Amino acid sequence: MYYHRQLEKKIKQTASEYACITLYGARQTGKSTMIRNLFPDFEYVTLDKSNERILATDDPELFLDSHGIPLIIDEIQKVPELMEAIKIRIDEAKLKSLSEVTTTPLMYILTGSNTHEIRENASETLAGRTALVEVNSFSECEKRKIEGGEFIPDIKSLQSKQKDLEPKNRHRIFEEIYLGGMPEYWIKRIDRDTFFESYIATYLEKDVSRMINVGRLDDFRKFMRIVALRTSQQLDYTEVGNAVGIDARTTKKWISILEASGIIMILQPYANNLSKRIIKTPKMYFMDTGLCAFLCGWSDPNILEDSPMAGAFFETYVVSEIVKSIRNEGKRIEHTLFYYRDRDRKEVDLIYVKDQTLYPIEIKKGIGKDKADKNFKILEQYKMPIETGLIIDTSDKVFPLNRNAYYCPVGMIGL
């Protein structure tokens, strides 16, 4: 059974504008499945196969000649040198199109699981020739098979979409948190332990082993669990390193590996020169709550819901869903999402920035309390327009707490 992805619209659009599309993201997020469903007539080759990888490494031109175009190349990060040969082919095709006054067709689709490496190589080698598209695990809208969109915290927009809201109680939400959104696991509902153990083993063997000493893979597995236990928290590299038995420098490197692999995302604090009291430490979130719950050792959604980590997982779920809704429109989050915390321990969970306007957001796993917006006024120090804030919780409709903040059901994200 194929589940349509929100990104398909963006990919179809770029297919008519670029000679190459590069998809990147964590393993098992459905990149290859989506592309092969969208472009069934394209030849498909994966560089996981040693004979293909060896040929592509030794003789990129012969490799491309042997497959022709249009072509889907999976696991492109394993032979980054191939991008230079692809660049030459695209440039030749563009020159021919110019002389014949035609449009250059889509020639190559590249996919891979090392976010940073692929993005950097593609940006440098294929600049202006490829569209970069990030793929995440299923969003809740994709699970429900409904057409989703970017989450924009505008009250009128949210109220207009409320008719499509599927009310969810807290228990239902924690079941979804526990399952996560890995497409194969979600669709087939295969044995959970087997799936995630295999996922982690494959990730360590194929991705991590290329970046660290193979002898330290057991340490990295322990590191993943330690980091999972700190999802939605501020990153204290020294504390994490001490828990694993590695130094802060190694911790930073390993955090960057998780981020580059699409396993986690880093949320930066919102700050400018107006405030000296802002804590500059970023926060970290897992992008798939199912994987995070497995790494933490939670074996049942009910136990997770009643655990001391329930709030952290609910916040992780909300933030990851908002991030997915933005990325599924082909957009980046670096200039859109932030958080606020100062040395007086005043905190705003999320700040959504649009057109130089701030939208404060608080995240509560239950029904938001009366003073849930108490820290929103702290943002006035930036002398920027501040829109009505949100308290994202388990309420059943969008309705006002007061004139400065509205309750927003978590199910509104992505509608």
Question: Could you report the per-residue pLDDT of 134-190, keeping only the tens digit for each?
Answer: 999 999 999 999 888 999 999 999 999 998 888 888 999 999 999 999 999 999 999
φ/ψ of 25, rounded to 5, equals 155, 175
* pLDDT value of residue 148: 85
Beta bridge partners of 363: 392
φ/ψ of 102, rounded to 5, equals -125, 175
* DSSP string over 174-222: HHHHHH---HHHHHH---HHHHHHHHHHHHHHHTGGGTS-GGGHHHHHH
Entry pTM: 0.93
Give me the amino acid identity at 39: F
In sequence order, the 6+-apart residues with CB closer than 8 A to the CB of 154 are 359, 387
* pLDDT value of residue 369: 63
Choose the weakest-confidence range: 332-341, 369-378, 388-397, 404-413: 369-378
Question: Could you report the per-residue pLDDT of 296-327, keeping only the tens digit for each?
Answer: 999 999 999 999 999 999 999 999 999 999 99
User: Do 41 and 68 contact (CB within 8 A), yes or no?
Assistant: no
Instruction: Report the candidate in 401, 404, 268 with the shortest Cα–Cα distance to residue 333.
Output: 268
Mean pLDDT in the chain?
92
Among the residues of 245-309, which ranges form H helices?
A: 248-260, 289-296, 301-305
Residues 129, 394: Cα–Cα separation, whole Å? 44
Q: How many CB atoms lie within 10 A of CB 214?
A: 10
Give me the amino acid identity at 323: V
Residues 211, 113: Cα–Cα separation, whole Å? 13
Pick among 3.30.420.40, 3.40.109.10, 3.30.450.70, 3.40.50.300: CATH of 8-134: 3.40.50.300
Q: Is the pLDDT of residue 275 over 70?
A: no
Among the residues of 261-352, which ranges form H helices?
A: 289-296, 301-305, 310-327
Torsion of CA 319, 179, 310, 270, to 10 degrees: -10
3-state secondary structure of 6: coil
Residues 291, 183: Cα–Cα separation, whole Å? 12
Q: Is the pLDDT of residue 277 over 90?
A: no
Instruction: Report the candidate in 262, 254, 252 with the shortest Cα–Cα distance to residue 286.
Output: 262
Domain ranges of the chain: 8-134, 140-412
Give me the amino acid identity at 184: E
* pLDDT value of residue 414: 85
What share of the chain in percent tops pLDDT 70? 97
In sequence order, the 6+-apart residues with CB closer than 8 A to the CB of 231 are 264, 284, 285, 286, 292, 312, 313, 316
- What residue has token string 């964590």? 26
Q: Is the pLDDT of residue 274 over 60?
A: no
Residues 82, 56: Cα–Cα separation, whole Å? 7
Residues 356, 8: Cα–Cα separation, whole Å? 29
